[in-house]
Amino acid sequence: MKTVVNSWNEWDPLKHVIVGVADGCCIPPSEPASEAKIPADSDMLGMHGPRTQDSVDKANAQLDAFAEIMRKRGIVVDRPTPIDFSKPIATPDWENGSSFGCMPPRDVILTVGSEMLEATMSYRSRWFEYLCYRPLLSRYYDEDSNMRMESAPKPRLNDASFKSGYLSENITIQARLAMVADKNFVTTEVEPLFDAADVLRFGRDLFVQHGFTTNLKGIDWLRRHYRDHRVHALNFPGDPYPIHIDATFTPLRPGLILNNPERALPNDQQGIFKKNGWEIVEAARPAHNQPPPLCYSSVWLSMNVLVLDPKTVCVEASEVHTIDQIDKLGMEVIPVPFRDAYPFGGALHCATTDVYREGRCEDYFPHQ
């Protein structure tokens, strides 16, 4: 039998990938997890329901074109199967007006070696999203006898999982930043919670952002699950909405990471990188002052790039400063128009998840 699933890091040569689709994507109604995450001045506030067909078509056009760029370079591209996201959902504990979508597979599926793991997720609206990837994961499972199809324990996400009244709408950005610096996040520690997009893979070491979408129990679960790995928690106190690590900390190749200058990794957490000769470079400023309308993410999606191999990176086409910076760092940049897809769940890293990269599990951090 052939090996279908194999990926140990964020930069080895990519050969097989999943690219999300925008079909049927909804803005879910407010829920305990999301209240803390939508800025008070956001155009998302109070919005819910299916996104317009015109916006879905535009996002899909860019997703399809991105998939085609990769196919032309010999990368196999698979697509998920959307469920009906507009349908109200429920568990014995709660009901929610809709699901979200399946544009950002990176949020849900974590590939480490031959295993694809469905994350617990931390929003009610994203509880059933794994179903969109089951047809692909089941196929890989049938085709590759070494492939491990895993699911982290489904969380209850009842009221005990969230701090009640965590934030008022009128809280200042300074107060938010103080809470984040204090590691005071919206989730409690009653059950393991993590989104896959809070994890970065560096061979034997996994770096996980502790923030709004991943709690300490989730990081502990990952530590117990990946017994051959070293799992490290990271915090980025300058981010008022610490949701997913991939617009904050971006490894480009062994030894080189871009770090969001507004969300610098604190000195006391830099030791492992310094001891092992990794350079952490301040990322270039985004080219835009605002994200596109009805977008959950910040302008720092400029950093949400997809590394195709240690010399080649896909960067959003209008992010001229990022393109220039990565070019000067000696890598080939493939510009990919993608801003129409941003509101559906992020940029080029979010919109993909690895199935196969060449290479093996290496130790990039022998000095712990």
Quick check: 12 and 155 in contact, CB under 8 A? no
DSSP 3-state of 70: helix
Q: Which of 116, 357, 60, 106 is nearest to 68 (CA)?
A: 60
Q: Is 350 a catalytic residue?
A: yes
Q: Is 244 a catalytic residue?
A: yes
Nearer to ligand GLY, 10 or 144 (CB): 10
Nearer to ligand GLY, 113 or 286 (CB): 286
Least Cβ distance, residue 300 to ligand GLY (angstroms): 4
Nearer to ligand GLY, 304 or 312 (CB): 304
Quick check: 352 and 9 in contact, CB under 8 A? no
Quick check: 7 and 354 in contact, CB under 8 A? yes
Q: Is 195 a catalytic residue?
A: yes
Q: Which of 23, 244, 314, 354 is catalytic?
A: 244
Nearer to ligand GLY, 229 or 244 (CB): 244
| Cα atoms in the Cβ-side hemisphere of radius 13 Å centred on 344 | 37
Q: Apex CA 209: angle with CA 174 and CA 297, to 5°?
A: 60
Q: Which two tokens stand for residue 89?
A: 């959902």
**In which element (H, E) is residue 207 found?**
strand 205-209
Q: What Cα–Cα distance (Å) separates residue 156 from each residue in 127, 265, 278?
A: 10, 32, 39
Least Cβ distance, residue 137 to ligand GLY (angstroms): 25
DSSP for 279-330, written as a single string: EEEEPPPPS-SSPPTT-SS-GGGGG--EEEETTEEEEETT-HHHHHHHHHTT
Least Cβ distance, residue 170 to ligand GLY (angstroms): 22
Q: Which two tokens stand for residue 361?
A: 């599990």
Pairwise CA distance, residues 126 & 140, whole Å? 23
Q: Which of 144, 195, 340, 354 is catalytic?
A: 195
Handedness of CA 55, 56, 61, 66 (dihedral sign): positive
Nearer to ligand GLY, 106 or 244 (CB): 244
Least Cβ distance, residue 195 to ligand GLY (angstroms): 10
Least Cβ distance, residue 104 to ligand GLY (angstroms): 11
Nearer to ligand GLY, 114 or 322 (CB): 322
Least Cβ distance, residue 92 to ligand GLY (angstroms): 31
Q: Apex CA 321: angle with CA 317 and CA 324, to 5°?
A: 85
Quick check: 98 and 40 in contact, CB under 8 A? no
Site for ligand GLY, rule CB under 6 A: 243-244, 247, 297-298, 300-301
Nearer to ligand GLY, 4 or 219 (CB): 219
Least Cβ distance, residue 305 to ligand GLY (angstroms): 13
Quick check: 176 and 242 in contact, CB under 8 A? no
DSSP for 141-169, written as a single string: HHH-TT-EEEEPPPP---GGGB-TT---T
Q: Catalytic residue positions?
A: 195, 244, 350
